[in-house]
Structure 1
Amino acid sequence: MEYLKLAEELLEFNKKSASMFHSIDNIKNYMEEAGATYLREGEEWKLEKGKAYYTMRNGSSIIAFKIGRDLTDYHFQMTASHSDSPTYKVKSVPELEGPDDYLRLNVESYGGVIDSTWLDKPLSLAGRVLVKDGNKVESKLLNIDKDLLIIPNQPIHFNRDINDGYKYNRQVDLCPLFSAGALKKGAYDKMIADEMGVKEEDIIAKDLFLVNRQEGKVWGLENEFISTPKLDDLECAFTSMKAFIASNNDKAINVYACFDNEEVGSNTKQGAMSTFLHDVLKRINNNLGYTEEDYFRAISKSFLVSCDNAHAVHPNHPEKTDDENKVFMNGGIVIKEAANQKYTSDAFSQSVFKTILNRAEVPYQNFANRSNIMGGSTLGNLSNTQVSVHAVDMGLAQIAMHSNYETGGAKDVYYAVKGLEEFYNTNIKIDSAHGFEVE
Structure 2
Amino acid sequence: MLRRRQNMSDQINRQLFQFIEKSPCSYHAVEQIKRELTENGFTELREQEAWKIEKGGKYFTSRNGSSLAAFCIPEKKLKGFHITASHTDSPAFKIKENMELQAEKHYTKLNTEKYGGMLMDSWLDRPLSVAGKIIVRDGEKLTEKLIHIEKDLLMIPRLAIHMKRGAEDDALNPQIHMLPVLGDQTAEKTFMRTTASEAGVNENDILGTDLYLYNRMPGTVWGANGEFMSAPRLDDLQCVFASLQAFVNSEGREYMNVFCAFDNEEVGSGTKQGAGSTFLEDVLWRVNEALGRTGEQYRMTVAESFMISADNAHAVHPNQPGKADLTNRPYMNEGIVIKYSANQKYTTDAYSGAMMKHICEKAGVPYQTFHNRSDLPGGSTLGNILTGSVSLKAVDIGLAQLAMHSAYETAGARDTEYMIRALQEFYCG
1:155 corresponds to which of 147, 160, 163: 160
Counterpart code for 1:62: L
| Equivalent residue number for residue 168 of structure 1 | 172
Task: Give yes or no for contact 2:94–2:115 (8 Å, CA) kept in 1.
Answer: yes
Counterpart code for 2:266: E
What is the rounded CA distance, in whole Å, between the counterparts of 2:360 and 2:332 in structure 1? 17
What is the rounded CA distance, in whole Å, between the counterparts of 1:27 and 1:99 in structure 2? 44
Task: Give yes or no for contact 1:67–1:250 (8 Å, CA) kept in 2.
Answer: no
2:10 corresponds to which of 4, 7, 28: 4
Q: How does 1:95-110 map to 2 (within 5 A)?
A: 95-110=100-115
| Equivalent residue number for residue 91 of structure 1 | 96
* Structure 1 unmatched ranges of 5 or more: 427-439
What is the rounded CA distance, in whole Å, between the counterparts of 1:165 and 1:244 in structure 2? 48
Counterpart code for 2:181: L
Describe the superposition over 1:27-81 as per-residue Cα deviations: whole angstroms up to 9, x where unpaired: 1111111111000000010101111100000000000000111125x21010000
What is the rounded CA distance, in whole Å, between the counterparts of 1:161 and 1:211 in structure 2? 30
Q: How does 1:248-259 map to 2 (within 5 A)?
A: 248-259=251-262
- The 10-residue stretch of structure 1 (383-392 or 82-91) with the greater mean CA deviation from structure 2: 383-392
What is the rounded CA distance, in whole Å, between the counterparts of 2:348 and 2:169 in structure 1? 36
TM-score (norm. length: structure 1): 0.95
2:150 corresponds to which of 120, 145, 149: 145
What is the rounded CA distance, in whole Å, between the counterparts of 1:360 and 1:156 in structure 2? 51
| Equivalent residue number for residue 131 of structure 2 | 126
| Runs of 4+ displaced beyond 6 Å | none
| Equivalent residue number for residue 431 of structure 1 | none
What is the rounded CA distance, in whole Å, between the counterparts of 2:391 and 2:229 in structure 1? 35
| Equivalent residue number for residue 338 of structure 1 | 341
Q: Does 1:187 align with 2:213?
A: no
| Equivalent residue number for residue 121 of structure 2 | 116
1:50 corresponds to which of 36, 47, 56: 56
What is the rounded CA distance, in whole Å, between the counterparts of 1:6 and 1:148 in structure 2? 30
1:165, CA displacement in angstroms? 8.2
| Equivalent residue number for residue 76 of structure 1 | 81
**How many residues are aligned here?**
423
SS of residue in 2 equivalent to 1:45: coil
TM-score (norm. length: structure 2): 0.97
What is the rounded CA distance, in whole Å, between the counterparts of 2:363 and 2:292 in structure 1? 34
Describe the superposition over 1:70-121 as per-residue Cα deviations: whole angstroms up to 9, x where unpaired: 125x210100000000000000110111222311100000001111000111
What is the rounded CA distance, in whole Å, between the counterparts of 1:165 and 1:318 in structure 2? 28
| Equivalent residue number for residue 416 of structure 2 | 413
Counterpart code for 2:407: N
Describe the superposition over 1:302-342 as per-residue Cα deviations: whole angstroms up to 9, x where unpaired: 11000000000000000000121110000000000010000
Task: Give yes or no for contact 2:95–2:113 (8 Å, CA) kept in 1.
Answer: yes
Q: How does 1:32-431 map to 2 (within 5 A)?
A: 32-71=38-77, 74-161=79-166, 166-184=170-188, 186-426=189-429
- The 10-residue stretch of structure 1 (263-272 or 193-202) with the greater mean CA deviation from structure 2: 193-202
1:362, CA displacement in angstroms? 0.8
- The 10-residue stretch of structure 1 (258-267 or 356-365) with the greater mean CA deviation from structure 2: 356-365
SS of residue in 2 equivalent to 1:157: helix
1:181, CA displacement in angstroms? 2.0
SS of residue in 1 equivalent to 2:259: strand
Task: Give yes or no for contact 2:102–2:185 (8 Å, CA) kept in 1.
Answer: no
| Equivalent residue number for residue 3 of structure 2 | none
- Please tell me the root mean square deviation across aligned C-alpha atoms, in Å: 1.0
